[in-house]
Amino acid sequence: MNFVGHHILTVDQFDRADIQRVFKVADSMIPYANRERVTRVLEGAILGNMFFEPSTRTRVSFGCAWNLLGGEVRETTGIKASALAKGESFYDTARVLSGYSDAIVMRHEMMGSVAEFAAASRVPVINGGDGANEHPSQALLDLYTIDRELKHNGKRIDQMTIALVGDLRFGRAVHSLCKLLSLYTSIKFRLISPEALALPASYIESIQAAGHEVIQTSNLQEGISKADIVYVTRTQEERFDSPEEALRYKGLFRMNQAVYTEFCQPNTVIMHPLPRDSRAEANELDNDLNDNPNLAIFRQTDNGVVIRMALFALILDVVDQVDASSRPVNWYTARRF
């Protein structure tokens, strides 16, 4: 795809060459994310960071990514603090905000909302999550992490086994990731969920149509036993009709060190888009894994910064100018990568 000036609304926009391009640009951002160098390439540019649904890492890492390229960030958090609460349409909001910004990232609880907003925007819009639909930048950072972790273990994405655990019905990160993985070859998908939270049929059909193997199970131990990657998710309680209904599914699958030791292969990589639900009734990914070197969750969050920097640099067509307007940092820095 041509990135310059384009919205990023769904991972359907990408082919394998596009993904490689994003990853290569992301690699070139490591010295900046790692605070070895500073660049001012987006000096004077403004990001509209519009989060109408709760967010910590997506919102802050998009903002940091823009800042690390030298730009300024203006942000709105929560519906109540915006004119959407007064009945303003996505059309009007997009016309207004795109007059103030050079790019916009938007998150909203409604499926298709970001596409509707983007249609009226005069600047490129990135989907930061639209309801249970998609989360393209999360899928890219997850895939980038999978690629790096597997390479470290002498493996590749093609032919790997991945176990996806939890709320596969409402989890938009899983939806986008499954579509991206479908672009690779002969992956073995182990979909571990209660029946009511199974991955929607349309996703399963397109995974199978792309030649991958899918096994659905509600048995955690069986599902994770041959996995190279175990990708755990939280029950998306905000998408259920009632909190009581969501509670039925919490705590059904719990990854912890004892389960890992007994059932996983050595070096199985554990991932989670975060936030993990650490409350006792859920606790799908236990803190006792925090010192397990195969726990990749905080490498995922670090990788989110370089992936989002890459998306901005590609969309705003500054990839070749990043290094030219850079210098070494002159403060104490802790290494991240």
Residues at the interface with ligand NCD (CB under 6 A): 57-58, 129, 135, 138, 172-173, 234, 236, 273-274
CB of 66 to ligand NCD, least distance (A): 17
CB of 116 to ligand NCD, least distance (A): 19
Question: Phi/psi at 104 (nearest 5 deg)?
Answer: -130, 140
CB of 57 to ligand NCD, least distance (A): 5
Contact 69, 322 (CB under 8 A): yes
Question: Toward ligand NCD, which CB reaches closer, 57 or 156?
Answer: 57
CB of 300 to ligand NCD, least distance (A): 8
**Edge-to-edge strands of the sheet including 46-51?**
72-77, 46-51, 103-108, 125-130
By C-alpha distance, which of 190, 284, 201 is closest to 246? 284
- Give the contacts of 201 (CB within 8 A, at least 6 positions apart): none
Question: Toward ligand NCD, which CB reaches closer, 71 or 304?
Answer: 304
CB of 39 to ligand NCD, least distance (A): 26
- Give the contacts of 139 (CB within 8 A, at least 6 positions apart): 11, 173, 176, 177, 179, 180
CB of 79 to ligand NCD, least distance (A): 16
Single-letter amino acid code for the residue at 14: F
Contact 189, 214 (CB under 8 A): yes
Question: Toward ligand NCD, which CB reaches closer, 132 or 318?
Answer: 132
Question: Toward ligand NCD, which CB reaches closer, 58 or 161?
Answer: 58
Helix (H) or strand (E) holding 49: strand 46-51
Question: Toward ligand NCD, which CB reaches closer, 25 or 232?
Answer: 232
Which residues are 331's β-sheet partners? Answer: none
Question: Toward ligand NCD, which CB reaches closer, 172 or 179?
Answer: 172
